[in-house]
């Protein structure tokens, strides 16, 4: 399966600068200007194919906010429930707080509804600095949740191999990009 639509839309995506961080504004990573069905289908079909090699999965897990469209589509296609790691504290019993630091912000995320022994996959829109993913994987491992794989639409920054080695976990990305001279370069 190809990623032709994803590649084309990334090549056309605007870039804004936040300090020293180059932020790529794209439908899959930001919902701007719109997420067209054919783009979402292409991304979720590719990720589904990768997830199917993981064996039995109890839950698809994503982080708020832009992993939600991908997780929703995968949940419907694969008939697997999904859990959103939220930016808001609910104070429910067993809630786990996770400190995340990204290339442009620092905040907390909150995990609810997962328990020891759950077999999960993590899906997300983009991997950039790795701050969010590292924090989430670390927290889930402490909870003894079984992470069968991590599946990311866009890898911006080539950090996935470092995280794979650090946590001994499989990370698959659909496309790798970099920003060079204010242009998106697909690797």
Enclosing H/E stretch for 43: helix 37-51
Question: How do residues 18-42 score in pLDDT, each as one tens digit?
Answer: 888 888 999 999 999 999 999 999 9
pLDDT of 110 strictly over 70: yes
What rounded mean pLDDT belongs to the chain? 95
What's the mean pLDDT in 39-58?
Answer: 98
- Looking from the CA of 143 toward its CB, the CA atoms found within 13 Å total 24
Q: What is the pLDDT, as a whole number, of residue 22?
A: 87
- Looking from the CA of 75 toward its CB, the CA atoms found within 13 Å total 18
Looking up residue 71, the CATH number of its domain turns out to be 3.40.50.2020
* Of the listed ranges 1-15, 26-40, 95-109, 116-130, the one predicted with least confidence: 95-109
Q: What is the pLDDT, as a whole number, of residue 24?
A: 94
Nearest 5 degrees, angle CA 88-CA 91-CA 92? 115
Q: State residue 4 phi and psi, 5-degree precision.
A: -60, -45
User: Which percentage of the chain shows pLDDT scores above 70?
Assistant: 98
CB 127 within 8 A of CB 155: yes
User: Which percentage of the chain shows pLDDT scores above 90?
Assistant: 88
pLDDT of 113 strictly over 90: yes
Domain count, the chain: 1
pLDDT of 1 strictly over 70: no
Question: How do residues 58-83 score in pLDDT, each as one tens digit?
Answer: 999 999 999 999 999 999 999 999 99
> Which structural domain range is residue 20 located in?
4-186
Cα–Cα nearest to 77, from 60, 100, 96, 53: 60
pLDDT of 171 strictly over 80: yes
Enclosing H/E stretch for 166: helix 160-167
pLDDT of 103 strictly over 80: no
Question: How do residues 119-163 score in pLDDT, each as one tens digit?
Answer: 999 999 999 989 999 999 999 999 999 999 999 999 998 899 999
């Amino acid at each position: 399966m190809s990623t032709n639509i994803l590649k084309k839309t990334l090549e056309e995506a605007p870039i804004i600068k936040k300090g020293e961080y180059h932020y790529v504004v794209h439908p899959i990573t930001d919902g701007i200007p719109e997420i067209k069905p054919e783009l979402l289908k292409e991304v979720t079909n590719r990720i589904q194919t990768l997830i199917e090699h993981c064996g039995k999965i109890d839950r698809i897990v994503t982080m708020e906010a832009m992993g939600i469209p991908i997780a929703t589509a995968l949940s419907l296609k694969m008939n697997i429930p999904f859990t959103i790691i939220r930016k808001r504290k609910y104070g429910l019993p067993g809630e786990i707080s996770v400190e995340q630091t990204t290339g442009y912000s620092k905040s907390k995320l909150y995990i609810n509804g997962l328990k020891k022994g759950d077999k999960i996959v993590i899906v997300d829109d983009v991997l950039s600095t790795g701050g969010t993913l590292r924090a989430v994987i670390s927290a889930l491992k402490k909870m003894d949740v079984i992470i069968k794989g991590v599946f990311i639409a866009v890898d911006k920054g080539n950090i996935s191999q470092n995280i794979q080695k650090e946590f001994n976990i499989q990370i698959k990305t659909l496309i790798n990009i970099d920003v060079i001279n204010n242009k998106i370069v697909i690797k």
